[in-house]
Amino acid sequence: MPLAPTLVVMAKAPRIGQVKTRMARDIGAVEAWRVYRAMSANLIGRLSADGRWRTVLAVTPDKSLGAAEWPADMKRTAQGRGDLGARMQRLFDRFAPGPVVVVGSDIPGLKPAHVSAAFRALRRADLVFGPAADGGYWLVGTRCAPRPPRLFANVRWSSPHALEDTLANARGLKVALLAELEDLDDAAAYRRWRGRLGRLL
């Protein structure tokens, strides 16, 4: 019997001055907080509503696990300590076996169809990545069979080399790539997103 697929959404507690700090340097802490809070709530809502996978919210800081901002009926887990790679590896280990896909909460273009495509890709591939426009990635998934691979040593996070470095750790594994999306990390990405939003209204 196939194992149930698990989607893990990594999210940071929305606190003014503590989220989207790079973006906040240009647009202000309050606007960055407002954007992140609305964007993450929207993304969590639309992905968790899909019954094709179970959705788990992985939160940071750990002390925010019981915070009122999170959906009350949603399974939650703490991300724990360490850099992004250490925290993602911990999530893969925690939710293995079975296909596990991890995404961030700051990708406004992310839809259930992208998650579905990732799980379909894992039927044939060992790993799946959603490349980001900045050289990183907005999704990473693995079949976790027979155990989760170790993918994140010496990755240069928040750099144009993040995906390249992770793929170097995945040599010998079959990798699938999804469509490129953009996460909202800085003011330039914010302005592009606002421009696209304006054209849709």
**For tokens 């999210």, what's the residue?**
11
We report the CATH number of the domain holding residue 100 as: 3.90.550.10
In a domain? residue 34: yes
Q: How far is it, in rounded angstroms, from Cα 179 to Cα 115?
A: 11
User: Residue 59 falls within a domain, yes or no?
Assistant: yes
Looking at the structure of the chain, the number of domains it has is 1
Q: What is the pLDDT of residue 200?
A: 40
d(CA 74, CA 52): 15
Please name which of 160, 59, 54, 47 lies closest in space to residue 110, comparing C-alpha atoms.
Answer: 47
Q: Does residue 159 lie in a domain region?
A: yes
For residue range 74-89, what is the model confidence (pLDDT) as tens digits? 999 999 999 999 999 9
* Residue-level pLDDT at 197: 67
Per the structure block, which two tokens stand in for 78?
């703490």
Question: How much is the average pLDDT of 107-113?
Answer: 94
d(CA 80, CA 125): 28
Confirm whether 92 is domain-assigned.
yes
| Domain assignment present for 26 | yes
CB-based contact 65:76 (threshold 8 Å): yes
pLDDT band at 3 (very low <50, low <70, confident <90, very high): low
Q: How confident is the model at residue 19 (pLDDT cuts 50, 70, 90)?
A: very high
In a domain, 1, yes or no: no
Token code pair at residue 91: 């999530």
pLDDT tens-digit profile of 134-148?
Answer: 899 999 999 987 788
Residue 131, classified by CB atoms within 10 Å of its CB into exposed (0-12), middle (13-18) or buried (19+), is middle
What's the N-to-C CA distance of the chain in angstroms? Answer: 45
**If you average pLDDT over residues 39-62, what whole number do you get?**
95
Query: Can you tell me the distance from the alpha carbon of 163 to that of 152, in angstroms, rounded to the nearest whole number?
Result: 10
Question: Residue 111: phi, psi to the nearest 5?
Answer: -125, 165
| Structural domain for 142, as ranges | 6-200
Per-residue confidence band for 31, with pLDDT thresholds at 50, 70 and 90: very high
